[in-house]
A and B are shown apart, each in its own frame.
Chain A
Amino acid sequence: MSQATGKITGISGNMVAVAFDGNIMQNEVAYIIKAEERLKSEIVRIGDGVAYLQVFESTKGLKVGDDVEFSGELLSVQLGPGLLGQIYDGLQNPLPHLAEKYGFFLPRGVELPPLDEEKTWEFTPAVKKGDVVVSGIPLGHVPEGIFQHAIMIPFYFSGEFTVESIAGKGKYKITDKIAVIKDEKGHKHDITMTFSWPVKISITAYRDKIVPTEPLVTQARIIDTFFPVAKGGTFCIPGPFGAGKTVLQHILSRHAQVDIVIVAACGERAGEVVELLREFPELEDPRTGKTLMDRTIIIVNTSSMPVAAREASVYTAVTLGEYYRQMGLDVLLLADSTSRWAQAMRELSGRLEEIPGEEAFPAYLESRIAEFYERSGLVELHTGKMASLTIGGTVSPAGGNFEEPVTQATLKVVGAFLGLSRDRANARRFPSIHPLESWSKYDSFIDKQKIFESQEMLRRGNEVGQMMMVVGEEGTSIEDFQNYLKSEFLDNVYLQQNAFDKVDAATSKDRQIYIFDKVKRVLDTNFASKDKDDARKLFNRLRQFFIDWNYIDMETAEFKKQEQAIDELIKEHSGNEKGL
């Protein structure tokens, strides 16, 4: 460890110049000592004898000559049992504990341990003396909520190790020694249940990274059916303010079928974050019947918290995600919003007086965004198990303009684009994902051809709709008009979902497959209507029938009854299904 020291020579905003002595490294953590306070900061540039530090706190009151201590370590998070259910800031400070200790405000220069060091965990060993292990291999497990938390060989150990000793079944604190391992040169290393990992370096203690193909069921029909997300894949949700990004994120965090959800609220409104913080612990996880918080970690940096911590928060979140993936779990990381993160980068780059790129974002914007999303993936672990980390980020483009650098850089690297539209949001079409502008490179669990035909119907319907604006209803042929009604029908009964209805809020995979077929049957039917009014009436009825159907639990007799009514209605009016 270097333990270099230095003294401040200049201050501008949250950027501090420090003359240093000794060995320091890029991105090393340093502390500025100000009476009782220790202000955390990170080295972002090194010049001739001067290090530039971005301070994670307010720099008010600092002076030239103030002392700086370098830690010799990169910005890291602590990994170990007890992370689930926590609410952290971007630097892994537990916010509820800070509140208990310091009250309403977030005081400067305080750190609290991220994990409870007193709590004991019931450890069950999985290896025995003499076993050969590599990094990432579980030495044993402790139960953490509904999961078996793997106590693994720390990821920074490379090469093969022999287990010298292993603790027996029993209760231990995270800092207790639970194993000793010997490396190839014969050096012995003590292992506890916790270790640190630098947030900006991805965890790769797995055997292989595989192309993600299996759909991650989010239970949002428009996503799963039309613009699916794969387990271990990436997606982005861009949209102007007011289009419903945050609501959609909340829905995904509740209903997506993954083991663990990590929410990174990065520069978000405190008023919305507080709903997340207060509601999640009270919401029931439909899969386990316990609180949703048991499988969730929330990272919160509201927009008024220091910008450098905001920049760090997405890395903290993704590192925690990778850690749980190493245990063989499926993890979903939702980052809201990556634009705030990019803006934080821009702000810091400006302070460093770097030559600005497009819209004053730094030149490395694209590579940073790519690096972040590339930390997702479906992997085969050393244990042979498969595990995934899926990353979804919202983007808040200035003026709702998708041409801007953050959206464009994100589009280059993600597998699915769920573009939100203000018009759809204004018309209360939820989710406001635009069905004609969004895309996905992943495969849905529904037949490709059927989806293609349905999308064609939406396109045709949209064209007819635009034409009708010019020539009116009268100038439209009955066939075109029926296509228009069909596309509206598809939009109303399938693409839109009532987030406030218990049943309609989340649609399972089986149910999606089932009802999509019925919807498709309507799209494929030639309805015999004598005029446009007649056609409109019919589709209003069909819509009502389907919406009611969406509200009925699939397991009930009522569901079948409603289905029969739908079948009869279709049959009664169809021109080409008469014989059925």
Chain B
Amino acid sequence: MRKVYNKILQISGNVIAVKASDVSYEELAEITTRRGKSLAQVIKIEADMVSLQVFAGSRGISVNDEVRFLGRPMEVTFSDDMLGRIFDGAGNPRDKGPQLTDLLIPVAGPSVNPAKRIIPKRMIRTNIPMIDVFNSLVVSQKLPIFSISGEPYNELLARVAMQAEVDMIILGGIGLKYDEYMKFKNTLEEGGALSRSIFFMNTASDPIVESLMVPDLALAVAERFALKGKEVLVLLSDMTNFSDALKEIAITMEQVPSNRGYPGDLYSQLAARYEKAVDFEGAGSITILAVTTMPGDDVTHPVPDNTGYITEGQFYLHNGYIDPFGSLSRLKQNVNSADRSRKDHRAIMDGMIQLYAQYMETEEKRSMGFRMSGWDQKLLKYGTLFRKEMMDLSVNISLEQALDLGWQILAECFTPEETRLRSELIKEFWPDNSKAKVASDGEN
């Protein structure tokens, strides 16, 4: 029988303090108020003074409310029954389904021994050319989507979720707007992917402290599925909200703030989550795709900056496109070699981006009123085609189709020598001129 305390000594922000003994660090407690029950977690102990962060927030808590320590740290249920279900940031169902109490597993477990990892070298096809061709997503990769408010980052996540070749998807919503959450749900439902998905959803109107738990719940469940051999894709949106919640608690706790008010351990906190991405030797894998909105489009802001040093690349989303310049998949070299992909993959990847860079220069010259040469005209045509046929996020084609399309676009705009591609590849892949024409006619 655990002791019950009903004298709350301090309430400050979402943190309360009680005098209690025999309490362990990070233990859970249940707080019963007039409005119902909420979980809370021990975040500091000083002699018999115990500070707890209340998941549902401290609003309406009275000093005489009951605090009951549960004698265990945060846990989450784990079973196949979770598929197709939606939970909140405390791990309770937020759909109309039954409470699951099967097997409880601890969250935020120990990190993976680097000696047991395997080098990531399997591509996850998404059928989005800007990803598959130019910055391939790799099993076990952790990638943020750097973005600003208003960009279609959640649409992109939902599309990846629909199209990615994985066994299952775990979506962690952190402070998501309610309509964004519904859009996710509807997209996955319509696409028939809901039955292979699990949602942990904290919306903007839900308690902010619960948003802190979402990544841990999602990743703990993902880890168990991965250990059972499943290829799991974890989507997190938005990790800036997670960081802001950390900041709020840290300041409430009067911790010495570090950069721009964020706590000194922001890097460790983010890394502890992102590093859960793994390809287990002899079991499944976890791949993490997360949204990081950049306040003021500023990549040097502490959240994107710290994230960039932890993750294996990033997708920049600019004006509705995945930017071919800022974006980077650090692991793409592991999957786009001739034996793992197609032998023209790297050449197309580099060649088309180099030409696109030249197009951008021409575009700049054009906007400054310089006269356009014949070469400039070719580049302008190329840039337009590239944007429309390759960069548009609604394009949904296989990697092979995308590579073929790349050759078509090149053939339509340039002579083989102008592309600077290697002659032996041109010999094999350069489309028949007449065919190229037919293809473009067909599209017009």
Contacts and interface: CB of A to CB of B under 8 A. Distances in A.
Interface of A: 9-13, 17, 58-65, 87, 95-96, 98-99, 102-108, 241-242, 267, 269-275, 277-279, 300, 302-305, 307, 337, 339-340, 343-344, 346-347, 349-351, 353-354, 356, 359-360, 396, 398-401, 426
Interface string B324-363: 0100101100000000000000000000000000000000
Interface stretch (B76-84, B274-282, B392-400): B274-282
Which has the most chain A C-beta neighbours within 10 Å: B46, B120, B325?
B46
Interface stretch (B127-135, B297-305, B433-441): B297-305
B97 interface: no
A399 B21 contact: no
Contacts of A10: 44-47
B416 interface: no
B271 A346 contact: no
Given A274-B120, A398-B305, 6 more contacts: A61-B25, A64-B21, A104-B283, A242-B328, A270-B117, A303-B267
Given A64-B45, A104-B113, A302 B275 contact: yes
Given A59-B25, A302-B275, A350 B256 contact: yes
A108 B271 contact: no
B25 A106 contact: no
B25 A62 contact: yes
26 contacts: A9-B46, A60-B24, A63-B45, A64-B47, A87-B115, A105-B113, A241-B309, A242-B308, A270-B275, A271-B312, A271-B331, A272-B312, A273-B114, A274-B117, A278-B118, A279-B119, A302-B271, A303-B271, A305-B111, A307-B268, A339-B309, A346-B258, A354-B256, A359-B258, A360-B257, A401-B300
Interface in B268-316: 268, 271-272, 274-278, 280, 283, 299-300, 302, 305, 308-313
A307 B44 CA distance: 18
B113 A95 contact: yes
Interface of B: 21-27, 43-48, 73, 108-120, 140-142, 227, 255-259, 263-265, 267-268, 271-272, 274-278, 280, 283, 299-300, 302, 305, 308-313, 325, 328, 330-331
B115 A269 contact: no
Please give me the 6 A-B residue pairs with the lowest Cβ-Cβ distance, nearest first. Answer: A399-B300, A304-B275, A303-B271, A350-B264, A360-B258, A95-B115
A448 B21 CA distance: 71
B73 A304 contact: no
Most B CB contacts (10 A, CB to CB) among A60, A98, A271, A396 go to A271
B300 A398 contact: yes
Nearest to B257: A360
A340 B268 CA distance: 10
A59 B42 CA distance: 12
Contacts of B312: 269, 271-272
Contacts of B278: 270
Contact of A300 (B114, B283, B309): B114
Contacts of B115: 87, 95-96, 98-99, 277
Given A271-B142, A304-B272, A360-B259, A104 B48 contact: no
B265 to A, nearest CB: 5
Contacts of A64: 21-23, 45, 47-48
Contacts of B255: 350
A110 B309 CA distance: 29
A300 B272 CA distance: 16
A353 B46 CA distance: 14
Given A60-B25, A104-B112, A269 B264 contact: no
A250 to B, nearest CB: 13
A351 B140 CA distance: 32
A63 B23 contact: yes
B395 to A, nearest CB: 25
B256 A105 contact: no
Contact of A271 (B45, B258, B330): B330
Contact of B114 (A95, A242, A350): A95
Contacts of A61: 24-27, 73
B390 to A, nearest CB: 20
Contact of B310 (A303, A351, A356): A303
A176 to B, nearest CB: 29
Contacts of B302: 398
Contact of B120 (A63, A104, A271): A271
Contacts of A105: 109-113
B67 to A, nearest CB: 17
Query: Which of A59, A106, A107, A108 has the most CB atoms of chain B within a 10 A radius of its CB?
Result: A106
Contacts of B26: 59-61
Contact of B265 (A13, A63, A241, A274): A13
Contact of B267 (A12, A107, A340, A349): A340
Contact of B263 (A270, A272, A350): A350
Nearest to A93: B113
Contacts of B299: 399
A274 B114 contact: yes
Nearest to B255: A350
Contacts of A107: 110
